[in-house]
């Protein structure tokens, strides 16, 4: 994964750096998660060097204005979409939005840290406990619990099989290494990122 900051008058080539972010599948899935669906990604793709109003976004994407505003609000809730307001010729407020890419990276780091914690816990449990699994994929049970059920699945009564802990630990350690590598890359970039959302409401 390679992520940089791109926003108005910020570090690097905005278009190229934005494409770097959106080229990473895990980041795209994360944006969809926090933004309420694929529309969040499509909205972010529109931002280059200029802020946009919900009306402009709606017109460019041929999307209902209500859906655009809902998605922007979802991204705003997580600090990713920021807005400023200006009075127009009729003295009414118009809202203009921009994307805080640095916040996406910060949220990704938080998510990866939680995943790493879970994987470390799973490795520890596998190294210190024996597990048994139902052949019909009902679930896994600790040795003590499996023994209490006479090594039969409490759901379907099938005979439980001991899990190959070494194979499972190897898979978990590979996942741990991958997550650690992603965190290292992001940590190396986060300090280089500048932010220029002064005058915007981001949270």
For residue 199, what pLDDT is reported? 62
Nearest to 111 by CA among 44, 176, 179: 179
Nearest to 135 by CA among 163, 110, 116: 163
Nearest to 183 by CA among 110, 94, 93: 110
For residue 9, what pLDDT is reported? 39
HEC per residue, the chain: CCCCCCCCCCCCCHHHHHHHHHCCHHHHHHHHHHHCCCHHHHHHHHCCCCCECHHHHHHHHCCCHHHHHHHHHHHHHCCCEEEEEEECCCCCEEEEEEECHHHHHHHHHHHHHHHHHHHHHHHHHHHHCCEEECCCCCCEEEHHHHHHCCCECCCCCCECEECCHHHHHHHHHHHHHHHHHHHHHHHHHHCCCCCCCCCCECC
**Second-level CATH architecture of 14-105:** Orthogonal Bundle (1.10)
Give 180's Cβ-side CA count (13 Å radius): 9
CA 175-140-114 angle, 5° bins: 35
Q: What is the pTM of this model?
A: 0.76
- Dihedral sign, CA of 173, 176, 181, 182? positive
Mean pLDDT per 10-residue interval, the chain, length 203 residues: 38 60 84 95 88 95 96 95 89 90 88 95 91 92 93 94 90 94 81 64 73
Residues making up the chain, counted from first to last: 203
Close Cβ partners of 93 (under 8 Å, ≥ 6 residues apart) = 85, 86, 87
Task: Kindly list the domain boundaries of the chain, sorted by start residue.
Answer: 14-105, 107-184
Tokens 């949270």 belong to residue: 203
pLDDT digits (tens, 9 = 90+) for 146-199: 999 999 999 999 999 999 889 889 999 999 999 998 888 788 767 666 665 666
Give the span between the Cα atoms of 39 and 37, in whole angstroms.
Answer: 6
């Amino acid at each position: 994964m390679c992520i940089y900051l791109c926003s108005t008058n910020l570090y690097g080539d905005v278009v190229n750096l934005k494409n770097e972010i959106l080229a990473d599948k895990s980041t795209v899935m994360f944006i969809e998660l926090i933004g309420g669906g694929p529309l969040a990604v499509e909205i972010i793709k529109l931002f280059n060097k200029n802020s946009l109003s919900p009306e402009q976004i709606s017109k460019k994407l041929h999307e209902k204005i209500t859906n655009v505003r809902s998605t922007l609000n979802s991204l705003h809730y997580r600090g990713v979409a920021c807005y400023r307001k200006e009075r127009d010729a009729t003295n009414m407020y118009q809202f203009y939005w921009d994307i805080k890419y640095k916040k996406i990276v910060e949220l990704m780091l938080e998510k990866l840290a939680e995943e790493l914690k879970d994987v470390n816990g799973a490795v520890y449990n596998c190294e210190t406990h024996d597990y048994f699994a139902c052949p019909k994929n009902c679930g896994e049970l600790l040795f003590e619990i499996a023994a209490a059920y006479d090594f039969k699945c409490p759901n379907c009564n099938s005979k439980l099989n001991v899990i190959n802990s070494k194979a499972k630990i190897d898979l978990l350690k590979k996942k741990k290494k991958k997550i650690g590598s992603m965190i290292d890359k992001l940590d190396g970039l986060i300090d280089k990122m500048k932010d220029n959302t002064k005058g915007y409401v981001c949270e």
